[in-house]
Amino acid sequence: MANVVVVGSQWGDEGKGKIVDWLSVRADVVARFQGGHNAGHTLVINGEVYKLSLLPSGIVREGKLSVIGNGVVVDPWALLHEMKTLRDQGVTIGPDNLKIAENATLILPLHQELDAVRENANGGVKIGTTKRGIGPAYEDKVGRRALRIADLADPDTLDGKIEHLLVHHNTLRRGLNLPEFDAGELKAKLVDVAPHITPYAAPVWQLLDEARRDRKRILFEGAQGILLDVDHGTYPYVTSSNTIAGQAAIGSGVGPSALNHVLGITKAYTTRVGEGPFPTEQNNEDGQKLGERGHEFGTVTGRKRRCGWFDAVLVRQVVRTAGINGIALTKLDVLDGFDEIKICTGYKLDGKEIDYLPTNAAEQARIEPTYETMQGWSETSYGARSWADLPAEAVRYVRYIEELIGAPVTLLSTSPERDDTILVKDPFED
């Protein structure tokens, strides 16, 4: 039996929530391995809409163990709020079905404030951050001054750790003309929240190892998209973690041999939120139509997404860097009714043809996409559950995408509803 890693193959917002939910029925364990509550996954189950940010998508399914791995940065107050919201919708959440890695880093109020101050500053590069403290928390993690889940269980040691943390942050805050953060206030907040979080703390690496030995199926759930990876994305307009498939091992405490099948969630067109390069962006009627039909607004922030045609160059590059075995193609139905559909098949940089996105941000900004135009379709693909239900032109479009990116379509999603999915190959049977 295979364990499956789900990653976004574009800039996020590819529809991972639905696919992970669809796959979670076949899984025993669902594990988040990076990011924080800046992720936004929307699930539609029997007409009920669930919006998740930090919790694994498997939490809405009975009989599944949900795991928040060590690679995730955890805002305990946001987590408790999300848990309450889901409980109000009838979802059962407790220490029996949710575990949080003891060595996961905490997002604190000072991280959130710093994130917002930096993004709102007049100088520097505006990244388009969600201002939720994700980046500053990761900075403290690699700076070896972060507080972690395990620290909540030992309040007697908090004073020294908070003092070490505030040596850095209060120096920074003075430079930003902010008042110093009070150590006593921070400790009081942590002591207050600790009893609500510590029951979920566990050595996640050990739980996952036991699950593997018991031949249970593990679904590793990524957030954002590969093009937002801090190393392999469109830097500096990226998130603060590694979103690439290999992070599933590091961010959950399993060896790379546990990652058997990498499934790249891929939208049938392209979107991104925030700043940064976007070669196929359409600031025209086509882009507006894609956004309106695709309801392209962020689950977490409500921000309008930028829209454009499918970029096969970028997805092909991601297939290689992430080791993607197959893709789940989503939102094909949004293209219904277009007379013509364009696909980016190559780039030109200063008049020279290239087949990848260069690393240099200035060169990325000068990229000119090369398009091929395909005939659209007037029939609907919405809700299709077999290839026979799809318009012939839609099938040709999907097959051409497979050829261009060098990876097969494993799943095809034709609506937000969980069951409107065409299964080509079960990733768990790889």
| Strand locations in 53-137 (E) | 65-68, 73-74, 98-101, 105-106
CA–CA separation, 401 and 51 (whole Å): 30
Question: Could you give the angle at the alpha carbon of 109 between the alpha carbons of 103 and 114, nearest 5°?
Answer: 105
Which residue type sits at 358? P
d(CA 247, CA 260): 14
Task: Look at the block and give the residue holding tokens 């505030």.
Answer: 166
Reported in sequence order, the residue ranges of 47-122 that DSSP labels E, i.e. its strands, are: 48-52, 65-68, 73-74, 98-101, 105-106
Query: Is residue 13 flagged as an active site residue?
Result: yes
User: What amino acid is encoded at 140 in this protein?
Assistant: D
Provide the residue type at 400 as one letter. Y
Give bridge partners of residue 8 from the DSSP assignment.
265
Instruction: Report d(CA 98, CA 196) in Å as an integer.
Output: 13
Backbone CA torsion sign across 345, 351, 353, 357: negative
| Active-site residue, 168 included | no
Structure tokens at 335: 């293209």
Q: Alpha-carbon distance 57 to 65, whole Å?
A: 11
Cα–Cα distances in angstroms (integers) from residue 184 to residues 155, 159, 163, 191, 196, in the given order: 12, 8, 10, 10, 20
CA 226 – CA 357 distance, rounded (Å): 13
CA 265 centroid distance within chain: 10
Contact predicate 45/60, CB 8 Å: yes
- 3 state DSSP class of 197: helix
Asked if residues 220 and 3 have their Cβ atoms less than 8 Å apart, the reply is yes
Distance in angstroms (rounded) separating the CA atoms of residues 105 and 75: 9
Q: Give yes or no for a contact between 284 and 222, defined as CB atoms under 8 angstroms apart.
A: no
Q: Are 342 and 309 in contact (CB under 8 A)?
A: yes
Q: Maximum distance among all alpha carbons in the chain?
A: 67
Choosing from 37, 41, 111, 232, the catalytic residue is 41
Strand residue runs (E) in 196-299: 201-202, 218-221, 261-267, 270-272
Active site residue: 13, 21, 311, 420, which one? 13
Query: Catalytic residue positions?
Result: 13, 41
